[in-house]
């Protein structure tokens, strides 16, 4: 009985489901153009970028974008299809499209109710709906029409296809392998200049090929650092290499050498003939010693009559001088040997004791004593070694002095030749000593450079930035100050001269000075008084307009009594024979005070004549202090660097 | 048993539809056109409620009601409301009666309200006190005089008319009283053909006569059948959403509603919507109400229940416009 009704309801449901499917499909079709347009645009941009700007978009990345676009498009369409429909949307659409006045929707709603709850009219309504199911068409309820936007999407597809087909030939530039970036240690131009200047100074003083080569290497190092051709490691390696080279030639212990020369000088001073030589050697004045030696040789060669006693003393002095170092070294060696023997003995005793009894307190004392001896021996070893090194340099001098002493008894001429050779030895030693000093100087520069690189490595870019900023200011490229150094105005000159026949009273004067140099302009005022007995108030004198070198007069002692002969009429009447005179101030070069110059330099840059002068004065004093006082090397460097930084810039 | 009931229900609906068709034909003998008004009045009657007819004088409002009363074979009374009318003039009054034996007693003289169809002509001309007496009877279907309640005979159906043009000396019905009317029907001006027909029918010698079609019992049975018409959830939901959309405070209400409406329709409006939709489905010979039915009855059922604000009144906005706009935008099913 109910079968037709159920069949009818099933038809309604199927038709409603079909309509809903078509509705979802319709949504997809409506969404499709927008998805296609968006997708085509993304694909077009991606393909164009890949073809034209291929360096900006790699192929894998382009593939990823295309895949993502397709996925996004599919997801959008799926969402459009699966989005929830209103309840009974299908049957509703059927009712509307077939003008069934909600018969189908009502029937489905009533049929969903339990049978017991259905009223007869509901059943009748269901049957009524079933009776209208024969002509249901899903396509009528949910027509699928292609949207006009789809045409736009298809039109867009054409250029996209053209773009895909288009082959753009672009020569792929061969990308050179990227060179490893050198992390060059930062150095400001001022520092570079400082070291270059130091190298130039050393170059001026030296002529030895060895030193020249070292300076050249140093210059190259600075040049490479300035051009950022070295990284930190390489810079330090080069500095170490150069320092090692410099150390090779500095084997002699300079101090020891000086000491021994002083001893030789002391021995020679015992003879009145060799006293100037000895004194010069004691003062380490090798130049003078050489000259004195040559003078003595000339004296002897010339066959001047020399006191025999004096010659004997000279001979003895030269023999002693030749011997004293050997004796001294022999004494040290003897002492070393004694100590060595003693240490050996102690060690043997200790070994025996250790075998017999271990851990006694006395052993500790002996152990300490032994160590003390060993340290003493080491010290003597070092001293002996140092003396031997110095001795190697003095060997020739010793030999010549010994030979001169020996020849002195036989032939004065021969002895004079020996002395001449000794003088040459001193000359050679002097040259060596000078070279050593320069090497030491260069070594110090290297140490300073190392210290500078180390410090700048710690602060890095910030420090360099500050240095550059400072450099700019030093060159006067910052700030609005104008070079107005050397201009000043003096306003002194308030002193008047004594008045004539007047009561002693300070006269009044006024003066003004103007000049390009900062000077004190002083005017002269002539007190005047035309009344016998003296009228009070000597008038001020003329205006001093000479700024540059005008000097004010001393204060007047009283008011004046006379008057200017050119003045006529009343005292207050200035209509006299006055002449307008213009006086230009002369630049005396004295300029402003040091503090003014320094202040101006801080504001406007380190330039100008006055600054040069002040800088020179200060630097001279600083150099003197550096050379004279015991200032640690590190601090010397800072002082030098400071002066390098504030040097005049032009 | 169920099958039989189903057939009976189908038969009842068929009878209902045919009877209404016959009734329409009878009314149409006298009343030219105005099909919507006739259906509206019938709808109110079948819903057991009352109608308010608004239209300019001379459009046949009174004639329509009189014709309907004749066709329904019901007791009819007409009350012409005037400002000096008292409640007793409508309800009735207690008078002293003297018997032949000379004995005097109070007796209640029923007023014109004691009828099946009451035509309250120009109801807005009576004072509020008198209007209240009528409206109380409309709501309660009973009147109380001197502590005695008198139940009005069923079916009780009031058809009130009012003239929208004349406002002087009138007492517009307050909103609470308007709400008691099931429908508010606008009687429109007849077109040219209708005017010809009216003139032909009313200026000749022969006057059309109307035969009674329905009696009391049939009407009550039809009222009962209306209540039995099922309504599915989606139709009811549409009615509810339509009602909510008339409220400016509602979240989904239109900008127009928010701008021009002061208060939306009351729940009584939703009841009217559904009942009227059911009646309309029966008029059409269907067994369940549809969304279209709700839409059709929405204007007469809600137009007097939506209160415009000052701006709406000033702009000359009609509640019909607001309701049409709401229905235009209201989706049939909730998304």
Q: Among A73-77, A116-120, A329-333, A522-526, name the most confident range.
A: A73-77
In a domain, B109, yes or no: no
- The closest of A558, A560, A546 to A492, measured between CA atoms, is A546
- Strand A511-515 with A488-490, pairing: antiparallel
Looking at the structure, do residues B273 and B313 belong to the same domain, yes or no?
Answer: yes
Which pLDDT score, from 0 to 100, does residue B99 have?
82
**Nearest chain B CA: its distance from A1 CA (Å):** 10
Res. B246 pLDDT band, cuts 50 70 90: very high
**What is the complex's ipTM, to 2 decimals?**
0.82
The percentage of chain B sitting over the pLDDT mark of 90, rounded to a whole number, equals: 19
| Phi/psi of residue B250, nearest 5 degrees | -75, 145
**Residue found under tokens 């709808």:** B43
How many whole angstroms separate alpha carbon A212 and alpha carbon A220?
A: 12
Tell me the β-bridge partners of A385: none
Least confident range from A355-364, A422-431, A496-505, B231-240: namely: A496-505
Residues of B in contact with A121 (CB under 8 A): 9, 13, 228-230, 287-288
Which pLDDT score, from 0 to 100, does residue A616 have?
87
In a domain, B103, yes or no: no
In a domain, B89, yes or no: no
Residues of A in contact with B17 (CB under 8 A): none
Which pLDDT score, from 0 to 100, does residue A440 have?
76
Q: Is B229 on the interface with A (CB under 8 A)?
A: yes
Contact B287 A125 (CB under 8 A): yes
**Residue found under tokens 């309509």:** A19
Least confident range from A118-132, A314-328, A329-343: namely: A314-328
Res. A523 pLDDT band, cuts 50 70 90: very low
Q: Would the pLDDT of A482 be above 60?
A: no
Which pLDDT score, from 0 to 100, does residue A530 have?
41
Q: Who among B10, B235, B333 is closest to A87 (CB)?
A: B333
For chain A, the first-to-last Cα distance in angstroms comes to 120
Which pLDDT score, from 0 to 100, does residue B57 have?
80
How many whole angstroms separate alpha carbon B296 and alpha carbon B327?
A: 10
If you measure CA to CA, which chain A residue comes closest to B13?
A: A121
Contact A121 B293 (CB under 8 A): no
In a domain, B245, yes or no: yes
Best to test chain A binding among B12, B16, B277, B288 (most A CBs inside 10 Å): B288
Contact B223, B282 (CB under 8 A): no
Which pLDDT score, from 0 to 100, does residue A71 have?
93
Which pLDDT score, from 0 to 100, does residue B270 have?
92
Residues of A in contact with B332 (CB under 8 A): 92, 96
A127 class by beta-carbon count within 10 Å (0-12 exposed, 13-18 middle, 19+ buried): middle
Which pLDDT score, from 0 to 100, does residue A410 have?
67
Res. B123 pLDDT band, cuts 50 70 90: confident
Looking at the structure, do residues B304 and B330 belong to the same domain, yes or no?
Answer: yes
Contact A86 B335 (CB under 8 A): yes
Average pLDDT of the residues in B271-291:
92
Q: Would the pLDDT of A338 be above 70?
A: yes
Spatial neighbors of A272 by CB under 8 A, at least 6 apart, are A310, A313
Q: Is A201 on the interface with B (CB under 8 A)?
A: no
Q: Who among A89, A110, A124 is closest to B232 (CB)?
A: A110
- Strand B76-80 with A511-515, pairing: unpaired
Q: Would the pLDDT of A528 be above 50?
A: no
Q: Is B290 on the interface with A (CB under 8 A)?
A: yes
**Nearest chain A CA: its distance from B323 CA (Å):** 21
Report CA torsion sign: B95, B96, B98, B103: positive
Contact A292, A280 (CB under 8 A): yes
Contact A262, A282 (CB under 8 A): yes
Q: Is B331 on the interface with A (CB under 8 A)?
A: yes
In a domain, B108, yes or no: no
Looking at the structure, do residues B224 and B128 belong to the same domain, yes or no?
Answer: yes
Q: Among A143-147, A564-568, A623-627, B168-172, name the most confident range.
A: A143-147
Which pLDDT score, from 0 to 100, does residue B272 have?
93
Q: Would the pLDDT of A211 be above 70?
A: yes
Summarize pLDDT for B293-333 with one digit per residue, the tens: 999 999 999 989 998 888 888 888 888 999 999 999 888 87
Looking at the structure, do residues B303 and B194 belong to the same domain, yes or no?
Answer: no
How many whole angstroms separate alpha carbon A484 and alpha carbon B304?
A: 96
Helix locations, B156-232, DSSP H: 175-178, 192-202, 216-228
Nearest-5° angle of CA B234, CA B236, CA B241? Answer: 90
| Token output for B192 | 């040219």
Which pLDDT score, from 0 to 100, does residue A391 have?
67
Average pLDDT of the residues in B257-282:
91
Q: Is A95 on the interface with B (CB under 8 A)?
A: yes
Q: Which of residues 125-154 of A touch B (CB under 8 A)?
A: 125, 128
Half-sphere exposure of residue A103, counting CA atoms within 13 Å on the CB side?
Answer: 23
In a domain, B200, yes or no: yes
Looking at the structure, do residues B239 and B221 belong to the same domain, yes or no?
Answer: no
Q: Is A88 on the interface with B (CB under 8 A)?
A: yes
In a domain, B100, yes or no: no
Summarize pLDDT for A77-109 with one digit per residue, the tens: 999 889 888 888 888 888 888 888 888 898 888
Contact A122 B230 (CB under 8 A): yes
Which pLDDT score, from 0 to 100, does residue A362 have?
60
Question: What is the rounded average pLDDT for all residues in chain A?
Answer: 73
Residue B252 sits in a domain of what CATH number? 1.10.8.80
Which pLDDT score, from 0 to 100, does residue A570 have?
64
Q: Is A20 on the interface with B (CB under 8 A)?
A: no
Res. A552 pLDDT band, cuts 50 70 90: very low
Contact A102 B334 (CB under 8 A): no
Q: How far is CA A466 from CA A33, A185, A459, B148, B177, in A?
A: 62, 15, 10, 111, 91
Looking at the structure, do residues B119 and B238 belong to the same domain, yes or no?
Answer: no
Contact B290 A109 (CB under 8 A): no
Contact B288 A87 (CB under 8 A): no
Report CA torsion sign: B36, B38, B42, B45: positive
Plot region of B176 (φ>0 → left; ψ -120 to 50 → alpha; else → beta)? alpha
Q: Would the pLDDT of B65 be above 60?
A: yes
How many whole angstroms separate alpha carbon A415 and alpha carbon A319?
A: 13
Which pLDDT score, from 0 to 100, does residue A172 have?
62
B175 against A326, higher pLDDT: B175
How many whole angstroms separate alpha carbon B160 and alpha carbon B156?
A: 13
Which pLDDT score, from 0 to 100, does residue A533 have?
39
Domain range for B334: 230-335
Last residue of a domain, one of B184, B210, B228: B228
DSSP H/E element including A255:
helix A254-269
Looking at the structure, do residues B224 and B314 belong to the same domain, yes or no?
Answer: no
Q: Is B230 on the interface with A (CB under 8 A)?
A: yes
Looking at the structure, do residues B162 and B293 belong to the same domain, yes or no?
Answer: no
If you measure CA to CA, which chain A residue comes closest to B231?
A: A106
Q: Who among B291, B331, B335 is closest to A102 (CB)?
A: B291
Last residue of a domain, one of B228, B251, B277: B228
Which pLDDT score, from 0 to 100, does residue B109 have?
87
Contact B185, B40 (CB under 8 A): yes
A643 against B247, higher pLDDT: B247
Q: b vs e for B97-135, b when ≥16 Cβ sit within 10 Å of the residue's Cβ?
A: eeeeeeeeeeeeeebbbbbbbbbbbbbbbbbeebbebbb
Residues of A in contact with B234 (CB under 8 A): 87-88, 92, 102, 105, 109
Give the residue extent of every domain in chain A. Answer: 3-165, 188-354+363-474, 488-565, 591-645
Last residue of a domain, one of B228, B261, B285: B228
**Nearest chain B CA: its distance from A118 CA (Å):** 9
How many whole angstroms separate alpha carbon B233 and alpha carbon B235?
A: 5
Q: Would the pLDDT of B335 be above 90?
A: no
Average pLDDT of the residues in A525-550:
40
Contact B281, B291 (CB under 8 A): no
Q: Would the pLDDT of A539 be above 70?
A: no
Contact B116, B155 (CB under 8 A): yes
Tell me the β-bridge partners of B144: B149
Spatial neighbors of A350 by CB under 8 A, at least 6 apart, are A363, A366, A367, A370
Looking at the structure, do residues B151 and B185 belong to the same domain, yes or no?
Answer: yes
Q: Is B293 on the interface with A (CB under 8 A)?
A: yes
Looking at the structure, do residues B261 and B167 belong to the same domain, yes or no?
Answer: no
If you measure CA to CA, which chain A residue comes closest to B225?
A: A121
Res. A60 pLDDT band, cuts 50 70 90: confident
Contact B286 A128 (CB under 8 A): yes
Per the structure, how many domains does chain B have?
Answer: 2
Residue B144 is given by DSSP the state E
Contact B288 A121 (CB under 8 A): yes
Q: Among A273-277, A467-471, B230-234, name the most confident range.
A: B230-234
Q: Is B192 on the interface with A (CB under 8 A)?
A: no
If you measure CA to CA, which chain B residue comes closest to A89?
A: B333
DSSP H/E element including B148:
strand B148-151
Contact A14, A84 (CB under 8 A): no
If you measure CA to CA, which chain B residue comes closest to A125?
A: B287
Average pLDDT of the residues in A392-418:
70
Summarize pLDDT for B127-175 with one digit per residue, the tens: 888 888 888 888 888 888 878 888 888 889 898 888 877 667 788 888 8
Residues of A in contact with B287 (CB under 8 A): 121-122, 124-125, 128
Looking at the structure, do residues B245 and B297 belong to the same domain, yes or no?
Answer: yes
The percentage of chain A sitting over the pLDDT mark of 90, rounded to a whole number, equals: 4
| Token output for A335 | 């002492």
Average pLDDT of the residues in A544-553:
42
pTM here is 0.51
């Amino acid at each position: 009985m109910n079968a037709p009704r159920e069949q009818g309801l099933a038809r309604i449901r199927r038709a409603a489901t079909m309509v809903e499917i078509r509705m979802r499909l319709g949504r997809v079709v409506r969404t499709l153009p927008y998805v296609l347009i968006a997708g085509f645009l993304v694909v077009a941009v991606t393909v164009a970028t890949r073809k034209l700007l291929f360096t900006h978009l790699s192929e894998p990345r382009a593939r990823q974008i295309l895949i993502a676009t397709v996925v996004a498009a599919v997801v959008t369409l799926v969402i459009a299809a699966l989005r929830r429909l209103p309840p009974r949307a299908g049957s509703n659409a059927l009712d509307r499209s077939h003008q069934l006045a909600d018969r189908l929707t009502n029937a489905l709603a009533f049929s969903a109710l339990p049978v017991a709850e259905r009223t007869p009219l509901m059943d009748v309504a269901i049957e009524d709906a079933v009776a209208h199911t024969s002509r249901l068409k899903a396509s009528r309820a949910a027509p699928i029409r292609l949207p006009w936007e789809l045409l736009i999407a298809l039109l867009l597809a054409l250029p996209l296809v053209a773009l895909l087909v288009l082959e753009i030939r672009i020569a792929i530039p061969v990308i050179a392998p990227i060179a490893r970036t050198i992390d060059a240690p930062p150095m400001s131009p001022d520092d570079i200049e400082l070291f270059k200047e130091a190298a130039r100074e050393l170059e001026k003083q030296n002529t030895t090929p060895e030193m020249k080569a070292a300076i050249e290497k140093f210059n190259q190092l600075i040049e490479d650092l300035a051009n950022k051709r070295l990284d930190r490691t390489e810079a330090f390696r080069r500095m170490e290499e150069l320092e090692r080279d410099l150390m090779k030639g500095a084997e002699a212990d300079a101090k020891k050498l000086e000491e021994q020369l002083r001893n030789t000088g002391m021995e020679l001073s015992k003879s009145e003939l060799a006293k100037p030589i000895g004194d010069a050697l004691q003062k380490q004045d090798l130049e003078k010693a050489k000259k004195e030696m040559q003078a003595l040789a000339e004296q002897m060669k010339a066959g001047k009559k020399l006191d025999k006693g004096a010659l004997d003393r000279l001979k003895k002095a030269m023999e002693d001088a030749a011997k004293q170092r050997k004796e001294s070294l022999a004494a040290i060696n003897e002492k070393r040997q004694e100590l060595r023997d003693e240490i050996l003995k102690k060690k043997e005793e200790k070994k025996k004791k250790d075998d017999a009894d271990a851990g006694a307190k006395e052993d500790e004392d002996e152990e300490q004593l032994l160590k003390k001896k060993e340290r003493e021996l080491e010290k003597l070893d070092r001293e002996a070694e140092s003396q031997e090194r110095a001795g190697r340099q003095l060997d020739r001098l010793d030999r010549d002095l010994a030979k001169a002493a020996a020849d002195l008894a036989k032939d004065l001429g021969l002895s004079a030749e020996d002395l001449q050779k000794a003088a040459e030895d001193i000359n050679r030693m002097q040259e060596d000593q000078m070279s050593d000093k320069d090497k030491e100087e260069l070594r110090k520069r290297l140490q300073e450079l190392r210290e500078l690189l180390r410090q700048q490595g710690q602060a890095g870019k910030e420090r360099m930035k500050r240095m550059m900023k400072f450099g700019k200011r030093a060159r006067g490229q910052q700030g609005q100050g104008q070079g107005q150094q050397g201009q000043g105005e003096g306003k002194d000159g308030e002193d008047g001269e004594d008045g004539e026949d007047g009561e002693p009273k300070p006269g009044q004067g006024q003066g003004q000075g103007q000049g390009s140099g900062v000077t004190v302009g002083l005017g002269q005022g002539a007190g005047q008084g035309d009344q016998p007995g003296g009228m009070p108030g000597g008038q001020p004198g003329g205006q001093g307009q000479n700024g540059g070198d005008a000097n004010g007069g001393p204060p007047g002692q009283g008011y004046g009594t006379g008057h200017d002969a050119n003045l006529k009429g009343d005292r207050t009447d200035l209509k006299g024979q006055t002449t307008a005179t213009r006086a230009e101030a002369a630049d005396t070069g004295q300029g402003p005070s040091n503090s003014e110059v320094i202040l101006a330099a801080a504001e406007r840059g380190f330039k100008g004549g006055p600054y040069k002068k002040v800088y020179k004065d200060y630097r001279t004093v600083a150099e003197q202090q550096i050379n004279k006082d015991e200032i640690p090397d590190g601090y010397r460097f800072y002082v030098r660097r400071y002066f390098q930084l504030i040097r005049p810039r032009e | 048993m169920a099958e039989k009931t189903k057939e009976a229900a189908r038969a009842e609906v068929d009878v209902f539809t045919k009877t209404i068709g016959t009734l329409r034909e009878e009314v149409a003998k006298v009343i030219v056109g105005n099909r919507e008004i006739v259906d509206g009045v019938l709808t109110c009657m079948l819903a057991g409620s009352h109608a308010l007819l608004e239209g300019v004088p001379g459009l046949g409002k009174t004639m329509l009601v009189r014709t309907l009363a004749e066709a329904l074979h019901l007791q009819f009374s007409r009350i012409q409301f005037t400002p000096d009318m008292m409640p007793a003039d409508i309800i009735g009054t207690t008078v002293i009666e003297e018997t032949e034996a000379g004995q005097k007693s109070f007796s209640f003289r029923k007023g014109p309200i004691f009828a099946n169809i009451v035509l309250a002509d120009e109801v807005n001309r009576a004072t509020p006190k008198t209007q209240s007496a009528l409206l109380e009877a409309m709501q309660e279907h009973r009147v109380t005089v001197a502590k005695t309640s008198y139940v009005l005979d069923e079916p009780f159906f009031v058809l009130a008319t009012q003239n929208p043009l004349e406002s002087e000396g009138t007492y517009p019905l307050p909103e609470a009283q308007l709400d008691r009317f099931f429908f508010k029907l606008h009687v429109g001006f007849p077109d040219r053909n209708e005017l010809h027909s009216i003139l032909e029918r009313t200026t000749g010698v022969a006057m059309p006569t109307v035969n009674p079609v329905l009696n009391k019992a049939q009407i009550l049975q039809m009222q009962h059948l209306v209540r039995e018409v099922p309504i599915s959830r989606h139709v009811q939901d549409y009615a509810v959403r339509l009602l909510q959309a008339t409220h400016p405070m509602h979240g989904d209400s239109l900008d127009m509603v928010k701008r021009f409406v002061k208060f939306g329709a009351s729940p009584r409006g939703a009841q009217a919507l559904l009942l009227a939709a059911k009646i309309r489905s029966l008029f059409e010979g269907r067994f369940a109400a549809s969304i279209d039915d709700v839409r059709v009855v929405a204007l007469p059922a809600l137009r007097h229940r939506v209160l415009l604000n000052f701006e709406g009144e000033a702009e000359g906005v009609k509640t019909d416009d607001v309701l049409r706009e709401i229905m235009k935008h209201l989706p049939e099913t909730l998304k």
